[in-house]
């Protein structure tokens, strides 16, 4: 089987990672491309009480089961189908349901901590960091959480100031130094996305 090209896309919450991912996937039509979101890999918390689960800080690296993600990527690279976990946000733990995921030419791993774990980084052929100003990121998060998730403006702002912002500064922003390419302003940066897509196409064509 041909080798699988693994692309990592990191950046803060609201940075435009998903837009960049969608643009790259659109530009790679003709190849088999799939997204493996790091958010699928929140740790199983079934051993904790519900009240204990409510204390989970989802903006901390410890919230993620990187060992399983790394194992799954290695299996995909070896041509094996995997079962991707899913997360039950209402019960704050891993769901019983899984998603069958076939090996692809290109797999994009997208998440706020996609570049934080060294073993995970070492599996990646290309590492991207989407770098967007904090004021834009909080505005996007505010709109998303109030419109799509039914949150109040106060709760979003308090969470941002008390958790999201300090975690970003401590854990996410420093991973920028591991990136092969930094894309400012996310999905609206067509030039950077075109350059990135050309690089990925070159890698895939060598397989």
14 is in an annotated binding site: yes
Rounded CA gap, 67 and 178, in Å? 20
Fold of domain 3-203 = Rossmann fold (3.40.50)
pLDDT, position 177:
97
13 is in an annotated binding site: yes
pLDDT, position 179:
97
pLDDT, position 205:
80
3 is in an annotated binding site: no
Please report, for residues 48, 93, 107, 132, the alpha-carbon distance to residue 55 in angstroms, rounded to integers and kept in the order given: 10, 12, 32, 28
pLDDT, position 170:
96
For all residues of the chain together, what is the average pLDDT? 92
Rounded CA gap, 159 and 19, in Å? 24
pTM of the shown model: 0.90
Rounded CA gap, 114 and 76, in Å? 17
Q: Are 194 and 25 in contact (CB under 8 A)?
A: no
Rounded CA gap, 40 and 69, in Å? 9
186 is in an annotated binding site: no
pLDDT, position 1:
44
Rounded CA gap, 174 and 150, in Å? 31
| Axis crossing angle, helix 17-27 with helix 190-205, rounded to the nearest 10 | 50
Q: Are 126 and 180 in contact (CB under 8 A)?
A: yes
11 is in an annotated binding site: yes
For residue 180, give the nearest of 136, 135, 114 by alpha carbon. 114
**Residue ranges in the chain whose pLDDT is less than 70:** 1-2, 207
Chain segment 152-192, per-residue pLDDT in tens? 999 889 989 999 999 999 999 999 999 999 998 777 888 99
30 is in an annotated binding site: no
Domain boundaries along the sequence of the chain: 3-203
């Amino acid at each position: 089987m041909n080798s699988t090209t693994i692309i990592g896309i990191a950046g803060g919450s609201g940075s435009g990672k998903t837009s960049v991912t969608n643009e790259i996937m659109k530009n790679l039509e003709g190849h088999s491309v799939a997204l493996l979101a790091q958010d699928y890999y929140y740790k199983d918390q079934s051993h904790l009480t519900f009240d204990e689960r409510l204390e989970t800080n989802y903006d901390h690296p410890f919230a993620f089961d990187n060992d399983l993600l790394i194992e799954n990527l290695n299996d995909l690279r070896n041509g094996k189908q995997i079962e991707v976990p899913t997360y039950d946000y209402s019960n704050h733990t891993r769901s019983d349901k899984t998603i069958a995921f076939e090996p692809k030419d290109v797999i994009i791993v997208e998440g706020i901590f996609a570049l934080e774990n060294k073993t995970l980084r070492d599996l990646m052929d290309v590492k991207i960091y989407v770098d967007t100003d904090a004021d834009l990121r909080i505005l996007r998060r505010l709109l998303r959480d109030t419109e799509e998730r039914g949150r109040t403006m106060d709760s979003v702002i308090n969470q941002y100031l008390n958790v999201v912002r300090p975690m970003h500064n401590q854990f996410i922003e420093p991973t920028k130094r591991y990136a092969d390419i930094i894309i400012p302003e996310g999905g609206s940066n067509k030039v950077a996305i075109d350059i990135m897509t050309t690089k990925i196409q070159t890698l895939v064509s060598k397989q």
